[in-house]
Structure 1
Amino acid sequence: MKQYKKILQSPYMILLLFTIKLIIYYGLIDANILDSFIIIVSIITLGIIFIGISRIKFKHKKGLFLIVYSLVSLLMFADSMYYNYYNQTVSIKQLWQAKNVAAVPDSFFATLIPASFLLFLDIPFVYYYFKKHTDDISTKNSWSFKREMKYLIAGLCAIFALLVVNPLDSVAIDKVNSVEFFTNHVNDIYNAVADNIVTEEIPVEEVLEVVEEVAPKEEGMSLQGIGKDKNLILLQVEALQNFVLGAEYNGQILTPNLNSLIGKDSIYFNRYYSTIGKGNTVDAEFATLNSLYPVIDRECYTLYEKNTFYGLPWILREKGYSTLAIHGYEGAFWNREAAYPGQGIEEFYSMEDLDASETIGLGISDKSMFKQAIDILEEEKEPFFSFIITLTSHHPYLLDEEYNTLVLREEDKDTKFGSYLQTIHYMDEALGQFIADLKEKGLYEDTVIAIYGDHHGLNKNMDNNQEKMEEFLGREYDYDEMLRVPLIIHVPGSNVYRTVSTTGGQIDFLPTIANIMGLKIDHPYILGQDLVNAKEGFAAFTAYLFEGSFIHNNVMFEISREGVFEGSRAWDVGTHEELDGSLFEEDYNRTVKIKKTSKEILDRDLIAEYMEDKNSSDHSYEEKYNTDTKSNIEENNYR
């Protein structure tokens, strides 16, 4: 009994409490809590921090320890929340997104896990033990303060140099770096700093060679120009997953209006995937408009706001189109207001420019927004390109009772699954009215309408979504279903009725719509392909799955969080049969290469360089043409 009492009164209780915290933390981020080495590294690191602070000759060292330990707890809490949503721990590069997260508090609170709050419970007890024993610890040791601190700092640096830098390129160390709390975040900071300091530019010719090598290729001219010279309305639907199309729930059709569009004058892409980064909705926009992959660091609209782009809006403007965007939330959200001019969008109607008297959840209701969009489009000079982003079906799917028209089963009420279906059903009603209004205003027949989902609505790792979805679908709910969104391109009067099952993603939209609209893409930095004419499909993933994950035809591959094939998985998306992940190393390398190439294009603003060279070349040609023409005229006049 005395032995236990002695332990309870000793400073070792700090390490014991921290060990319990670690077990909770690693459980929340799905790490192997049986891996004792990871926990030992964490305990040793905290022990060094504890001893180091206890030894310093600083009047407020107890307060310093409390601040450090509280920040450690807060970062663990942030990791658990971030992992719950993104399947990844938080990075220093995402800290800049905090203001965007704060702008959607309902969605933020919906991601909270009650167990995460356990990470804060030990703080007062740890502080009590530190306060009680720190003075004793600092006076008992005979070593000099400077000498001891030198050893402590040297030891800590040695540990992190070995683990973070990983000079031996050890797979075991990579595993530690990807999971262990301290090394994971130090490694993240190290990589962020290294990326800014060490920049190795690849010659433009090599970048173009890589694009030629790894970008998918299509062949053929099927459906080319069937929408030529028509208006184009591009609808990005918030959280629209593919499974709702054609589906019934409780005897009700979930999306009758979307189903009706697919049934006539449409090309429906049923194996289309979200290729977003951590910017979610705006990264879906970015990939769709530019056929470039988003980066994992941050939303592209902020990172590359000053870049030169030559995506869909610019291409259409060169063909005489006016370009506009409509969104029912604040213009500054995700930096849209600042980024859209560089994307080629001339007018942007946000919440500040619209009637915001009817709001649902985050912003203006879809029905109100669509009705106001009709008034705007009616006054727009034709041909026009209108990019419209819906909002009502935004997580956490809040819909007032008066707007509920889907009758939910009792067991689905007050669940994310039921709320999601309710908001998607509402969105479909809004879309149906929008189509009817286009017809009434005489805009429908001469307008191509493209509709796609920006990202998933039901995260398989949150709430009881996986259980509910598997019950609804009657099959496994995995990332292949979670990340699958629809793409519908509706061309009134075309008499086209086709379902394209070639695998693709938002990266492929630009070349696909360019084919249908009869447009020419006049630069080589396009990483997608025209899915109408493609023989095989490929898409790489940025968020929710780790870098190197992809889908190639029927095979989906998820790289392990350590970035090694051990622990990775692959499966057939049709049969859900598990496959040997090690067989797909070639596709994995292709994925890594295409993502690095996309980032290189963005980081170096290579489109600007290309367009500058092209314009100079065109100008030289024009000068030569004008000079030759003038000489010919003068010669003819002389004769």
Structure 2
Amino acid sequence: MSKYFPFLAVTTIFSLAVKSLYVKYSIMEQINIAGFLTEISFLTLPILMISFLKGRVSILFLFLLNAIVSILSMTAIMYFDYYHAIFTYQSLREMNQVFTIRDSVFALFRIEYLLLFIDLIAFVLWKDLKRRIDTSNLNVSKKLACFIAVPAALFIALGIMNASNTLSEVNKYDTLGLVGYQFVSAASDLNAKWRDDKIINAETLQKRKVSPTINDIRFHAAGKDKNVIIVQLESVQNFLVDLKIGDCEVTPNLNSFLREAQYFPNFYTQVGKGNTSDAEFITNTSINALGETSMSAAIKWKKVPSLPRMLKHSGYHTATFHANDVKFWSRDALYRSLGFDEFYDKKYFGSDDLISYGVSDELLYKKSIRKLSNYKQAGKKFYAHIIALSSHFPYELPESKKRLTIDLPGKYKDSAVGSYIKSVSYADYAFGTFVESLKKAGLYEDSLIAVYGDHQGLQTENEKDRKLVEELLQKPYHPVLDHLNVPLIVKIPSEADGKIVKTVGGLVDIYPTIANILGLNLKDEVVFGTDLLNSKDNLIGIRFYAPTGTYINQYYAFSPGKTKDTGQKTLLANRSVSPAHTKSINELEQILDLLKLSDDYVRSLK
């Protein structure tokens, strides 16, 4: 065995160090030296072990390690661009969906990412390069290499200790690096699986919830025995509602609808990795998303207490409508777990007039109305959950649909903001056709209708787009208060006058709000949300698209700091920022307790 640590191993460490710097700067926009050294330590130790192998085996393993880290690095950057979250090994479960969402993947790809793989050419040509390069003076003695392992192990131990004292996934990544973050995530997941299942019931939860209600319950049973229609709008954010560009409204149909409905402008998405399917799950269960695991995977084959099950007990027929293949995000299992009577997917909606991942919203609504009319003619009261798709990233509308959207000034041409506004404008147009069809079918006045945005949509990855959106908002674009703010509009039957309800809410609050209007009794149900029409105050937690520990109450948004007892508040009223105080840290502990309780409840379901 050579007494030297091979030249190829030395260059591999250097190469991976450069890549980790590139990824870290792409995500963090700064370099944490201690975190960088910890990341290099995580990479150095396996390279040390590989180097003790002989000849070609060593070269092969070094190549595989380099290739895996290179792929992981590119994936992490693209993943963060879209999700604003750190990629983990758990996301590999959804690799089979990459082909389906290839348009979104291509939209995120940048040609410079290929530089992450350029050094792999050296491995392929190594035999020839070795003849040409004298590496004898560039090798490191084995004693020195082994001596390096000691501080590397210490850096890893220190990094893990520091990461254990922080809530934010981004800060954990900054402390550990990409590879180290995977190991710590895996350890955390194993620990969660080994925890004993706890018995969690409505009484247990009620003692730990923090949302006081109004004494005189408003709108209770105002929609009793009425049809229920809930429309989920893809990627629609709240700042576009009631917004004018020039003299034109971006969402004239939603604006008209909210004038005769209860409109909740301080409403936020709470989805995790499952995005749209997570929104479907949360809306129908009032259970928080896990974050890194899509809820369709987490509750697969489990029986979940839900709005569809509750309504079935009250004599409703329940159906969900989604124009993509039902197997995408395992929705076939999701709908079965939620207890829907039937679902309609691509098989029913067909493949005419395609936009994004399914038929156009116009065709979705048109074919959905046929089924709703059939239910009415059969004398069935029904619950229909309709999932619109046309405003999906990367926001590419056919020319025939662009003519139906708002005319934008020239400065929006070839911008992500312009494409996004056009897509939402089309989604609004299609929703307008749906409202008219409901009126013609005699279903509009006889139904409780709720409309909400599932999750954020706007991507502001360059200076042009950032300036455009700040012009629209007349203030900086906040990563929580703007980016995660989606609309909720609820039309109560027999209520003609609209009202703005300023109570802060999230997706978990839709089910209990709807249940109150229908007169459903949730006393014995495990419901993590709050009836927004009868709450003086509210506290909602957000994870995945914002660091775990992020929450919003009636007065401010809280963002966790680098340790568990630090953070900052951003006031809703004027966006002023201040450090955390005792009350906000106490609320942080409350929201973390509720999120953990929700996670334990999901695991306990049979």
Distance of 1:551 and 1:195 partners within structure 2? 26
For 1:538 and 1:375, how far apart are their aligned partners in 2?
40
Superposed, 1:421-440 pairs within 5 Å as 421-440=421-440
Task: Write the letter of the residue equivalent to 1:315.
Answer: M
Whether 2:18 is the aligned partner of 1:24: answer no
Secondary structure at 1:540 match in 2? strand
Structure with more contact order per residue of length (Cα contacts < 8 Å, sep ≥ 6): 2
- Equivalent position of 1:633 in the other structure: none
Q: How far apart, CA to CA, are the structure 2 residues paired with 1:73 and 1:297?
A: 22
Aligned counterpart, 2:510: 509
Residue pairs, 1:304-383, within 5 angstroms: 304-380=299-375, 381=378, 382-383=380-381
Partner residue of 2:544?
543
CA contact (8 A) 2:288 2:599 kept: yes
Tell me the residue number matched to 1:490: 491
User: Quick one: structure 1 residues 12 and 425, their matched pair in 2 at CA, closer, same or farther if it must change by over 3 Å?
Assistant: same
Gap change, CA 1:171 and 1:393, over 3 Å in 2: closer
Contact kept in structure 1, 2:269 and 2:506, CA below 8 Å: yes
C-alpha contact 1:31 1:179 (8 A) present in aligned 2 = no
Q: Closer, same or farther in 2 for the Cα pair 1:554/1:169, shift >3 Å? A: closer
Structure 1 partner of 2:413: 413
Letter in 2 for 1:306: W
> Structure 2 residue aligned with 1:395, among 390, 393, 396?
393
- Residue of structure 2 in register with 1:256 after alignment: 252
Does residue 66 of the first structure (1) align with residue 95 of the second (2)? no
Is residue 54–residue 137 contact of structure 1 (8 Å, CA) maintained in 2?
Answer: no
- Write the mapping of 1:277-316 to structure 2, written as runs, cut at 5 A: 277-316=272-311
Deviation, 1:38, is 2.5
CA separation of 1:581 and 1:119: change in aligned 2, threshold 3 A: farther
Compare 104-113 and 526-535 and name the one that shifted more: 104-113
Residues 1:42 and 2:43 aligned together:
no
Q: Deviations over 1:408-452 (max 9, x none)?
A: 222212222111111111111111111111121222221111100
Paired position in structure 2 for 1:577? 576
* Secondary structure in structure 1 of the residue aligned to 2:309: helix
Contact 2:35 2:159 in 1 (8 A): no
On the 8 A contact 1:239/1:454 being kept in 2, the answer is: yes
Structure 1 position 394, deviation (Å): 0.5
Q: Quick check: 1:519 aligned with 2:499?
A: no
Do the aligned residues in 1 keep the contact of 2:263 with 2:488 (CA within 8 Å)? yes
Contact in 2 for aligned 1:163/1:176 (Cα 8 Å) = no
Distance 2:8 2:491 in 1: 72
Q: Which residue of 2 aligns with 1:385?
A: 383
Structure 1 position 272 matched with structure 2 position 267: yes
Cα distance change on mapping 1:46 and 1:137 into 2, 3 Å? farther
Answer with 15-24 or 239-248: which moved more: 15-24
Would the alpha carbon gap of residues 529 and 140 (structure 1) be closer, same or farther in structure 2, given more than 3 Å must change?
closer
Q: Distance in 1 between matches of 2:285 and 2:139?
A: 64
- Contact 1:452-1:486 at 8 Å conserved across structures: yes
Counterpart Cα distance in 1 of 2:337 and 2:311: 14
| Higher Rg of the two aligned structures | 1
Give distance in 2, aligned partners of 1:599 and 1:462: 36
* TM-score, normalisation: structure 2: 0.89
Against the structure 1 CA distance between its residues 571 and 120, is the aligned structure 2 distance closer, same or farther, given a 3 Å change threshold?
A: same
Give the whole-Å Cα distance in 2 for the aligned partners of 1:316 and 1:587.
Answer: 34
Q: 1:438 and 1:222 mapped to 2: Cα distance?
A: 26
Would you say 1:223 and 2:219 are equivalent positions? Answer: yes
What per-residue deviation string (whole Å, max 9, x for no partner) do you get for residues 100-139 of structure 1?
3431111122223444333223333477679748996999
Change (3 A) 1:329 1:462: farther
Which of 30, 37, 54 in structure 2 is aligned with 1:57? 54
- Partners of 1:270 and 1:486 within 8 A in 2: yes
Q: Deviation at 1:466? A: 3.1
Query: Contact 1:54 / 1:134 at 8 angstroms: preserved in 2?
Result: no
In the TM superposition, 1:457-472 aligns within 5 A as: 457-460=457-460, 464-472=464-472
Classify the secondary structure of the residue corresponding to 1:388. Answer: strand
1:194 aligned to 191, 210, 216, which one? 191
- Name the CA distance, whole Å, in 2 between partners of 1:167 and 1:453: 34
Give the conservation status (yes or no) of the 8 Å contact 2:557–2:571.
Answer: yes
Matched residue type, 1:36: I
Once the two structures are TM-superposed, the CA of residue 357 in structure 1 deviates from its matched residue by 1.3
CA apart distance, 1:581: 2.4
Residues 190/135 of structure 1: CA separation in 2 closer, same or farther (3 Å cut)? farther
Q: Distance in 2 between matches of 1:170 and 1:542?
A: 14
- Say which of 95, 100, 117 aligns to 2:97: 100
* Secondary structure of residue in 2 paired with 1:431: helix
d(CA) in 2 for partners of 1:576, 1:177: 26
Residues 311 and 343 of structure 1 are in contact (CA less than 8 Å); yes or no, is this contact kept in structure 2? Answer: yes
Amino acid aligned to 1:68: L
Q: 1:72 to 1:85 in 2, by over 3 A?
A: same
Q: Once the 2 structures are TM-superposed, how far is the Cα of residue 14 of structure 1 from its aligned partner? A: 4.6
Contact 1:255 1:428 in 2 (8 A): yes
Partners of 1:36 and 1:68 in 2: CA distance: 23
Distance in 2, Cα, partners of 1:488 & 1:169: 40
CA RMSD of aligned residues (A): 3.1
Q: Give the Cα separation in 2 of the matches to 1:467 and 1:141.
A: 54
Give the deviation of 1:600 after TM superposition: 0.7
Cα 1:257/1:140, change in 2 over 3 Å: closer
User: Equivalences for 1:157-172 in 2 at 5 Å?
Assistant: 160-161=156-157, 163-164=159-160
SS in 1 for 2:421: helix
What SS is found at the alignment partner of 1:482? Answer: coil
- Preserved contact between residue 17 and residue 126 of structure 1 (Cα < 8 Å): no
Give the equivalent residue in structure 2 for 1:629.
none
Deviations 1:449-493 (A, max 9, x none): 110000111145578543321111111210201111111111343
Question: Taking structure 1 as reference, are residues 506 and 139 closer, same or farther at Cα in structure 2, changes over 3 Å only?
Answer: closer
1:189 Cα offset (Å): 2.3
Structure 1 residues without counterparts, runs of 5 or longer: 1-8, 609-639
For structure 2, the 5+ residue unaligned runs are 1-6
- The offset of 1:62, in angstroms, is 1.3
Q: Cα 1:136–1:396, aligned 2, differ >3 Å: closer, same or farther? A: same
Separation in 1 of the partners of 2:586 and 2:110? Answer: 38
CA contact (8 A) 2:168 2:560 kept: no
Partners of 2:107 and 2:164 in 1: CA distance: 42
**Post-superposition offset of 1:169:** 6.0
- % same residue: 26
SS of residue paired to 1:570: strand
Q: How much does 1:178 deviate?
A: 4.1
Change (3 A) 1:141 1:271: closer
The range that moved more, 48-57 or 392-401, is: 48-57
With over 3 angstroms needed to count, the CA separation of the structure-2 counterparts of 1:413 and 1:337, relative to structure 1, is same
Secondary structure at the aligned position of 1:403 is classed as helix
In structure 1, the residue matched to 2:3 is: none
Distance 2:75 2:68 in 1: 10
Per the alignment, residue 3 of structure 1 pairs with none
User: Structure 1: how far apart are the matches of 2:454 and 2:41?
Assistant: 44
Amino acid at match of 1:187: V
